[in-house]
């Protein structure tokens, strides 16, 4: 079976997803999904990531617009060497898109949903990616898991994961939450906190380890997929 794991920033989706993958012996898909998206858009991974961030941040959109203006000036005769030096443009691959403003929202949306077919072809996997519950929502046999946690707990986890201070972690949680809501709104007219998007919703707290939470996901996912026909797993 395929399990998608999403949820709030800092709630532990990446770590818990890795545990679920290990326990079930299924491939873990994380960065591969965004590389496939970049390939469909003929764009760099950096451009795709910054396109996603720009959905929710005026500051990022403004910075992207300034950089795109510089890129266009370089392309049309204003010191093209400057553009190459800054990595905005490559003589060896001038067709690839390196700036987020070169990707329209409609193009991005179409490519995002098209990657669903790529993920389906991979077979049984554990998919940890933003909005996996949207891109695979019409696929039979896929179980969507949403992970939620108190803000303070998410800030502590992000501080540890990113090696930043408490204040910076709090700022990042606010920004990630805002970006994620804007991104869901642009893609599907919904919000990530809508629990109806998920087959399984877990409100986690620090009392349980990532391994224990992964155990719960494995048990509940098997029950969701197989119902009364599910058999206990002796060991996984």
Q: β-pairing, 200-203 with 126-128?
A: unpaired
pLDDT at 51: 86
Give the CA radius of gyration of the chain: 20
pLDDT at 87: 46
pTM of the model: 0.78
All residues at 6 or more sequence positions from 226 whose CB lies less than 8 Å from its CB, including other chains: none
pLDDT at 82: 43
What are the beta bridge partners of residue 120?
none
pLDDT at 55: 84
**Mean pLDDT in each 10-residue stretch from start to end of the chain (236 residues)?**
88 91 90 85 87 81 71 50 43 66 89 84 84 78 91 92 90 88 89 91 86 92 74 46
pLDDT at 80: 40
Q: Is the dihedral of CA 169, 175, 181, 187 positive or negative?
A: negative
pLDDT at 198: 92
């Amino acid at each position: 079976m395929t399990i998608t794991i999403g949820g709030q920033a800092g709630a532990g989706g990446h770590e818990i997803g890795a545990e679920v993958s290990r326990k079930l012996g299924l491939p873990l898909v994380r960065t591969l999904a965004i590389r496939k998206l970049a390939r469909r858009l003929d764009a760099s991974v950096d451009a795709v990531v910054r396109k996603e961030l720009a959905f929710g941040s005026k500051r990022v959109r403004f910075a992207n617009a300034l950089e795109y203006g510089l890129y266009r000036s370089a392309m049309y005769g204003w010191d093209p060497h400057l553009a190459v030096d800054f990595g905005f443009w490559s003589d060896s691959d001038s067709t690839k898109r390196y700036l987020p403003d070169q990707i329209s929202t409609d193009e991005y949306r179409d490519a995002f949903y098209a990657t669903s077919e790529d993920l389906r072809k991979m077979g049984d996997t554990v998919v940890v990616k933003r909005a996996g519950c949207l891109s695979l929502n019409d696929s039979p046999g896929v179980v969507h898991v949403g992970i939620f946690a108190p803000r303070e707990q998410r800030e502590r986890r992000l501080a540890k994961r990113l090696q930043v201070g408490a204040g910076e972690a709090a700022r990042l949680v606010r920004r990630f939450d805002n970006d994620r809501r804007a991104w869901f709104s642009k893609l599907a007219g919904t919000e990530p906190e809508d629990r109806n998007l998920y087959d399984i919703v877990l409100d986690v707290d620090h009392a349980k380890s990532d391994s224990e939470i992964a155990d719960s996901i494995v048990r509940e996912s098997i029950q969701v997929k197989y119902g009364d026909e599910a058999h206990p797993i002796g060991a996984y």
